[in-house]
Amino acid sequence: MRDEDEAVVKPEINQRVQELRELLQQASYAYYILDNPTMEDAVYDQLYRELQDLETQYPELVTPDSPTQRVGEKPAAQFSSVQHNIPLYSLENAFNIEEFAKWQERWKRHIPENSTLSTEYVCELKIDGSALALTYKNGILVRGVTRGDGIAGEDITQNVRTIRSIPLRLNTDNPPPILEVRGEAFLPLEVFEQLNREREKAGEQLLANPRNAVAGALRQLDARLVAQRRLDFFAYTLHFNNQNSDITTPHSKKPTPHSQWESLELLQNLGFRVNPNRKVCPSLEAVRDYYNNWDKQRRSLPYMTDGVVVKLNSIKLQEELGFTQKFPRWAIALKYPAEEAPTTILDITVQVGRTGALTPVAELKPVSLAGTTVSRATLHNSDRIRELDLHIGDTVIVRKAGEIIPEVVRVLPQLRPANAQSFQMPSHCPVCTSPVKREVGEAVTRCINSSCPAILKGSLIHWANRDALDINGLGEKLIEQLVERNLVKSVADLYILTTEKLTSLERMGKKSADKIVTAIALSQNQPWWRVLYGLGIRHVGSVNAQTLTQHFTTVERLSSAKITEIEGIYGIGPEIAQSVWDWFQVEGNQSLIQRLREAGLQLAGEVKTKTESVNQPLSGKTFVITGTLPTLKRDDAKELIQNAGGKVSNSVSAKTDYLVVGEDAGSKLAKGQSLGIQQLSEDELLALIG
């Protein structure tokens, strides 16, 4: 036991703890990164236990980067959503070399013909896992975040720390103040197969595929359960947040990288696993050879890969090309064709969506496809079934569209059994038994009962989702209970729910019920366009909802508008106009609007005249926000700018008027500086708005 009167840790104890950490970190680096073990397992275990004992005896010596701190003792209560310091953009996809060549032509149009910058590529295998964003402050891992929507993700730092190929401390004595590392968490196939063998013995449901197993593991609230999945990680890019400085690693002094290849080498020297199968390709032909070669070899890899990521090697050229609204112009995912497999149609069932659409679904004999077990595939509608000449009992070819959605490609009629049955769409809804209807000119059959439980469930899920009313905690399982217990018969009924009603449901305590009631109440403050989108009117997406509410600033104006008025708005076509007009002609929908008004929902927006719009302080100006502002959240700053007549863009270009800069600003700051764009602090932005 430690002497309570001993106030100071002896220097030799402190020194021994540091020695043990360094020895264990070096051994982990050799084992997990270099694949060249330098220490016997028994020796590692002995040193680990010694360090663990010393830290237990002297808890003040415990540091976040200690090898003993990889797995948290207490499960997290929940994950919080956090904004990425630098957005995680998706990659544009190409599915063959011809599409890749067209992409090459497009980006080349954005640079001068006499440019001297290198146009060689770096090819890396596209790992089939979950993207992560890691933040290191002064060399210590402080944050790990899922990709989310690319702008914000879930803070899963505690779980990220369990992945042994992610260093808790960078392998350098002079780390940058802030380093952002991006990469892919994945599950090795050997581990995946072993986990399934263990689950089968225990009588547990098997994991469907490595990708889903990774995503499910990363969202476990108990980090000890995450550690059991034995996830791995490949790093593929890094950002210095404009802190240009040389970094000393155990192997050499590395300058700030000027190419993707140098970035990968630096990442490996800093302690990360980097995919060893990367290659510099000087031309399209070299990329094609790399792509074709790995198409043959990828099935022998110890992990799943579904394509090749191709990036321009020059970071300066990457910065010049910048981004579209969705993708970087300097990178693309060259995907392999979807795998196809034969299987048998066991049955055809029918699902009912929130718009009442009846969708036939093929129930398949389970088949392995692109690394997943597929047992269902959408058949879209009755026309598609007729086109395929599909019968229950048929042998069919199934593939994954975009390697995500299983679909039936074709039928093998020569294998059709004698007892195969043809399929007819039901004349009545399979959920509520009401008659169904197929409009002339449409391929979709619909349930026309607005009280159908399936339609109600879909409407409630849509109403609560992030892009609509954003009601935190109101998920699909809870909605199913609310509908089944007849506690909710329309979205308006959500606003008369009480804690007492919710606690009558399964697994619903008072504290959770209070949170949901509060979240529902907060949704009353959501703007008019979100309410319109949440109503689920056919063809009205979130962008169209914003466009409509800018022109029809109250629900009364929209509900009384003629089709020609709605159709006359730029971006709103006749199909949308007809759908909106039809919706407001239904008496039940008018009653719903009245109930939402009584519940306090926002059914009107601010009215701005053309003169007011022109005279707004930021009218005609384009802003880009980078970094963390002192008091304003990014969405709040964006709303302030837009309300003052300005526009907010995600990418810096010559058309950007102002760059709003906060702490830990990203690569946009360097781009803005190179273009001479005026920078504003939060205070200066507020002063400009007035």
Residues annotated in a binding site for Zn(2+): 429, 432, 452
Residue 121: Cβ within 10 Å count: 27
SS3 for 94?
Answer: strand
Report the C-alpha gap between 187 and 129 in whole angstroms. Answer: 7
Eight-state DSSP code of residue 450: T
- From the list 74, 102, 108, 126, the catalytic residue is 126
Residue 273 makes CB contacts below 8 A (sequence gap 6+) with 32, 33, 165, 232, 233, 234, 235
Q: Which conformational region is residue 112 in: left (phi greater than 0), alpha (psi within -120 to 50 degrees), or beta?
A: beta
Rg (CA), the chain: 29
CA 390 vs CA 341, 344, 419, 443, 538: distances in Å: 17, 11, 13, 17, 29
Q: To which H or E segment does residue 684 belong? A: helix 682-689
Q: Which of 418, 417, 421, 395 is nearest to 408 (CA)?
A: 395
Please state, in angstroms and as integers, the Cα–Cα distance from residue 156 to each residue in 20, 127, 134, 136, following that order: 28, 20, 10, 14
Q: What share of the chain is helix, strand, coil (3-state, %, to 5)?
A: 40, 20, 40
CB 515 within 8 Å of CB 469: no
Considering only CA atoms, which of 168, 170, 163, 169 is closest in space to residue 184? 163
Running DSSP on this structure, what letter comes out for residue 204?
P
Quote the CA–CA distance of 58 and 13 in Å, as a whole number.
9
398, 399, 405, 407 alpha-carbon torsion, rounded to 10°:
-40
Beta strand segments in 250-339, E: 253-254, 279-281, 305-312, 331-335
d(Cα 507, Cα 523) in Å, to the nearest integer?
A: 24
Taking the CB of residue 25, how many other CB atoms lie within 10 A of it? 18
From 138, 214, 143, select the one nearest 169 (Cα to Cα): 138
Q: What is the DSSP code string of 331-383?
A: EEEEEPPPPEEEEEEEEEEEEE-TT-EEEEEEEEEEEEETTEEEEEEE--SHH
Q: Is 405 exposed, middle or buried (0-12, 13-18, 19+ CB in 10 A)?
A: exposed
Calculate helix-pair angle for 587-598, 574-585, nearest 10 degrees. Answer: 80
- Cα distance between residue 472 and residue 516, in whole Å: 7
Name the helix (H) or strand (E) containing 663: none
- Residue 341 phi/psi, 5-degree rounding, is -150, 145
CA atoms of 60 and 51, how far apart (whole Å): 13
**Rounded CA separation 385/406 (Å):** 15
d(CA 437, CA 424) in angstroms, rounded, equals: 14
Distance CA 180, CA 242 (A): 11
Is there a catalytic annotation at residue 126? yes
Binding residues: 41-45, 90-91, 124, 147, 184, 311, 335, 429, 432, 452
**Residues with active-site annotation:** 126
